[in-house]
Amino acid sequence: MNLLDHIDIIPDFPKPGINFYDIQSLLKKPEIWAKITDILSDKVKATDADLILGIESRGFLTGLPVAQQLNLPFGMIRKKGKLPGNTIAQSYELEYGTDTIEIQEGLIESNMKVAILDDLLATGGTMKATGDLVRNAGGEIVLGLCIIELFELGGKDKLDFPFENLFDAPLDPFANVMSA
């Protein structure tokens, strides 16, 4: 299955020069989404993870069905101020400034094996910050996993834990089409 055949790519979104890989087109196809969930689940199952974390917000869509399929607890990584109760925060650098993500305190137990899921890996900043947050909370990252990786941005090179994707995507999927 070539995922690119099933993903809508929106040019110049959210700003000029960016090609947005829209997983909504996958969600509209239950048979494709079920296959993706099965593949993600197999990858996580091989790690003996105790907990699955999804990164806001499309990581919730990838992580929750995997957690349900594997009968594992699921937790949310959210932007600062979006979770109730006591939280653990991790700030990280963006291209222009900083951002902060959080998890609820007590979600990650000491030495808990954690798989981190999201839809897409670009520069790797949020995935790396999530890994730092997991470690600061006492957990061990057994896998970072995304459907799509924009490999030309080198995001996985920033990660110091195992990472896999289902599909390597070019930054400009239209380059070959336009030059033909």
pTM: 0.93
For residue 24, is it left (φ>0), alpha (ψ between -120 and 50) or beta? alpha
CB atoms within 10 A of CB 58: 19
Reference 115, options 38, 60, 63, 172; nearest CA is 63
Per DSSP bridges, beta strands 87-94 and 113-121 are: unpaired
Are 63 and 75 in contact by the 8 Å Cβ rule? The answer is no
Which residue intervals of the chain are DSSP H helices? 24-27, 30-45, 58-70, 125-136, 175-179
Burial grade of 165 (CB within 10 A; 0-12, 13-18, 19 or more): buried
pLDDT in tens, 134-158: 999 999 999 999 999 999 899 999 9
Are 109 and 158 in contact by the 8 Å Cβ rule? The answer is no
pLDDT score of 178? 41
pLDDT in tens, 23-65: 999 999 999 999 999 999 999 999 999 999 999 999 999 999 9
Tokens for 31, please give them: 């048979």
Burial grade of 36 (CB within 10 A; 0-12, 13-18, 19 or more): buried
